[in-house]
Amino acid sequence: MTRIDAKFADLKAAGQKAFVAYVMAGDPDFDTSVQIVKGLPAAGVDIIELGLPFTDPMADGTTVQLAGQRALERGMTLDQTLQIVRELRKDDTTTPVVMMGYYNPIYSRGVDRFLQEAKEAGIDGLIIVDLPPEEDDELCIPAQNAGLNFIRLATPTTDDKRLPKVMQNTSGFVYYVSITGITGSAEAQADDVAPDVARIKAVTDLPVIVGFGVKTPASAQSIASVADGVVVGSAIVAQIEAGKPVDEVLQFVKSLADGAHKAGE
pLDDT tens per residue, range 20-29? 999 999 999 9
248 is catalytic: no
Buried b / exposed e over 159-195, threshold 16 CB at 10 Å, is eeeebeebbeebbbbbbbbbbeebbbeeebebeebee
Write out the H or E segment, with its range, that includes residue 86.
helix 78-89
| Sequence ranges of the domains in the chain | 3-256
Say what the pTM is.
0.95
Q: Coil, helix or strand for 177? A: strand
Is the pLDDT at 188 greater than 90, yes or no? no
Q: Which of 60, 87, 124, 228 is an active site residue?
A: 60
Q: Under CATH, which number does the domain 3-256 receive?
A: 3.20.20.70
Q: How far apart are CA 64 and CA 69, in angstroms?
A: 9
How large is the average pLDDT for residues 175-192? 71
60 is catalytic: yes
Measured in Å, how far apart are the chain's first and last C-alpha atoms? Answer: 27
Per-residue pLDDT band at 264 (split at 50, 70, 90): confident
Is the pLDDT at 185 greater than 80, yes or no? no
User: Which phi-psi region, left, alpha or beta, contains residue 243 (left: φ > 0; alpha: ψ -120 to 50)?
Assistant: left
How large is the average pLDDT for residues 222-251? 96
Q: Which of 5, 27, 46, 49 is an active site residue?
A: 49
Instruction: Write down the pLDDT at residue 61.
Output: 83
Instruction: Write down the pLDDT at residue 190.
Output: 83
Instruction: Write down the pLDDT at residue 200.
Output: 95
24 forms beta bridges with 51
How large is the average pLDDT for residues 92-119? 97
Per-residue pLDDT band at 191 (split at 50, 70, 90): confident
Q: How far apart are CA 5 and CA 172, in angstroms?
A: 6
pLDDT tens per residue, range 194-224? 999 999 999 999 999 999 889 999 999 999 9
Cα–Cα nearest to 67, from 49, 82, 83, 89: 49
pLDDT tens per residue, range 151-170? 999 988 899 999 999 999 99
